[in-house]
Chains A and B, each alone.
Chain A
């Protein structure tokens, strides 16, 4: 007995669990860094403006699916109102951009905070529900918000609280930050904002809230027995997800210059959940994959002259495949498949070498 304890103590000596990253972690971090540097410096030079704009959208929707993945994967809350939350963020940012001359980062922060408050107002009553009922309620709320937005319209440089003037002949575009006026520069700007949002989520997952969310998702009784205020932490997740989506809405406003309520149909929320699940909700890469599925694939198909409506069918099949064979999504499955392919090729090669 005392032998075991001593052995455990030695094993548990701080050196053993010092925060020195392991080899796989180092490899992962360096791959991430290289990819990000490539995307930041080389991508806008290599791509046509059409695809640069598409990549900006990928950055925006990676943030949206990051937020949704946080709710679904970390806390187990299924929200079908994400497109509406994005619309709130875009609306708030557009209103502030027309009304003030504040610097863009400040506007994004404010849009995020306003959306966070809206998300909390929605989230507080909704948190009494779980699973299907929470999904239903958020979907209904998203529908409601879409209806309201269709009535009040997005700000277009008009006066008053709503900032909309239906009789304007010349509608001014929503401004961009002065350092990122061109499309390639704005892509880089969006990417930096997205990286900051991913870092924000990572900082949460690796610390106290991340542990609390993991406990809540597996077992609420276990979380309560550990002294975790489950309501507080669920609200915290809702607030964080709304904040990130609001910031994404702000970036979206500058990206497309003109906002209309038809940009945010309720069914987008459903597609967003589908791509989030397909990308994978247990890793942050999943959100990037989901951003590509949601924005890059349609752009690619449009460019090829194929209707993007086919994607709805494809996404349906994709979700079915993910839910049945790869619950951790493409972000988890793809590297695994690649490793398997590598092993197969190596084996085939060594067999070929053999006499």
Chain B
């Protein structure tokens, strides 16, 4: 469970997150909102790239913000990036092994890594260089990195951006199964509402750094304020 309270982030004169208070219970939770609403900023606070001006984040009872960023990954915070960051120089196996060797390791490295690659449904030779993979496969390498080595919190930043429908539906299936497979809480940021509906039981909506709605996904997507601020009237 992640409890966020009074989280405020300012870049110069811009308030990117404005006293955001929110609780993510379990399973896969959605986080949506227009561009610039503060979604990625929120992820950057959780992974330690951005220091908030105020507020606290308690993750499973622990004060997350007091941890050094690389220690958070070891504790179990994983993330994928808006612009995919699979390491080109390494093989698929080494990309995942790299995260595993800096994590709370569960079982044998080889088994865990192959397990994560299989879980992501990555149809590529583990020994293949990431350079040879397509965009969709690289996204799955990132997903495999995010689920290996017993994560506690998986942050997915627009994982389906730029993917064709077929690959998106595969990705949706993988994301939906992350909590039961790893026991982690997953937070999904995406603009694809069908992906969010398919994966997330609950969803929160940000607009200009403020939380404007949260609750069961179906109800949130029907909410008047959300339609006005983000979804638009059909």
- A-side residues, CB < 8 A to B, are 1, 4-5, 7-9, 11-12, 14, 16-17, 208, 211-212, 214-215, 217-219, 221-222, 224-230
Query: Which residues of chain A are within 8 angstroms of B101 by Cβ–Cβ distance?
Result: 208, 211
State in angstroms the CA–CA spacing of A5 and B120 once bound together. Answer: 8
Closest to B113 in A: A12
- B-side residues, CB < 8 A to A, are 47-49, 69-71, 73-74, 77-79, 81, 85, 87-90, 93-94, 97-99, 101-103, 110, 114, 117-119, 121-123, 125-127, 145, 170, 173
Q: Is the CB of B102 within 8 A of A17?
A: no
Shortest CB-to-CB span from B165 to chain A, Å, is 15
Closest to B173 in A: A1
Task: Identify which of A12, A214, A227 contacts B74 (C-beta below 8 A).
Answer: A227
Q: Is the CB of A1 within 8 A of B79?
A: no
Query: Which residues of chain A are within 8 angstroms of B97 by Cβ–Cβ distance?
Result: 211
Given contacts A7-B123, A16-B125, contact A228 B70 (CB under 8 A): yes
Q: How many A-B residue pairs have CB under 8 A?
A: 94
Q: Is the CB of A227 within 8 A of B110?
A: no
Shortest CB-to-CB span from A223 to chain B, Å, is 8
Given contacts A221-B85, A228-B70, contact A16 B126 (CB under 8 A): yes
Query: Which residues of chain A are within 8 angstroms of B78 by Cβ–Cβ distance?
Result: 225
Task: Identify which of A8, A16, A211, A228 contacts B90 (C-beta below 8 A).
Answer: A211
Shortest CB-to-CB span from A219 to chain B, Å, is 5
Query: Which residues of chain A are within 8 angstroms of B102 by Cβ–Cβ distance?
Result: 226-228
State in angstroms the CA–CA spacing of A8 and B141 once bound together. Answer: 13
Q: Is the CB of A217 within 8 A of B118?
A: no
Q: Is the CB of B125 within 8 A of A17?
A: yes
Given contacts A224-B49, A224-B70, contact A215 B123 (CB under 8 A): no
Q: Is the CB of B85 within 8 A of A218?
A: yes
Shortest CB-to-CB span from B6 to chain A, Å, is 25
State in angstroms the CA–CA spacing of A219 and B82 once bound together. Answer: 13
State in angstroms the CA–CA spacing of A11 and B69 once bound together. Answer: 35
State in angstroms the CA–CA spacing of A202 and B79 once bound together. Answer: 30
Task: Identify which of A5, A17, A222, A227 contacts B93 (C-beta below 8 A).
Answer: A17
Cross-chain pairs A/B with CB under 8 angstroms, 14 sampled: A5-B121, A8-B121, A208-B101, A214-B87, A215-B87, A215-B90, A217-B89, A218-B85, A218-B87, A219-B85, A219-B87, A221-B49, A222-B85, A227-B70
**Given known contacts A1-B121, A225-B78, what 13 new A-B pairs fall within 8 Å (CB)?**
A7-B123, A11-B123, A215-B98, A218-B89, A219-B85, A222-B87, A224-B48, A226-B99, A226-B145, A227-B74, A228-B70, A228-B102, A229-B70
Query: Which residues of chain A are within 8 angstroms of B118 by Cβ–Cβ distance?
Result: 5, 8-9, 12
Query: Which residues of chain B are within 8 angstroms of A17 by Cβ–Cβ distance?
Result: 93, 125-127
Given contacts A218-B88, A227-B73, contact A212 B123 (CB under 8 A): no
Query: Which residues of chain A are within 8 angstroms of B48 by Cβ–Cβ distance?
Result: 224
Q: Is the CB of B98 within 8 A of A211?
A: yes
Q: Is the CB of A4 within 8 A of B123?
A: yes
Q: Is the CB of B170 within 8 A of A1?
A: yes
Task: Identify which of B89, B103, B117 contacts A227 (C-beta below 8 A).
Answer: B103
State in angstroms the CA–CA spacing of A11 and B125 once bound together. Answer: 7
State in angstroms the CA–CA spacing of A227 and B105 once bound together. Answer: 12
Shortest CB-to-CB span from A226 to chain B, Å, is 5
State in angstroms the CA–CA spacing of A211 and B81 once bound together. Answer: 19
State in angstroms the CA–CA spacing of A221 and B43 once bound together. Answer: 12
Query: Which residues of chain A are within 8 angstroms of B103 by Cβ–Cβ distance?
Result: 227
Closest to B102 in A: A227
State in angstroms the CA–CA spacing of A1 and B166 once bound together. Answer: 11
Task: Identify which of B71, B73, B110, B119 contacts A14 (C-beta below 8 A).
Answer: B110
Query: Which residues of chain A are within 8 angstroms of B69 by Cβ–Cβ distance?
Result: 224-225
Closest to A13 in B: B114
Task: Identify which of A12, A222, A224 contacts B114 (C-beta below 8 A).
Answer: A12
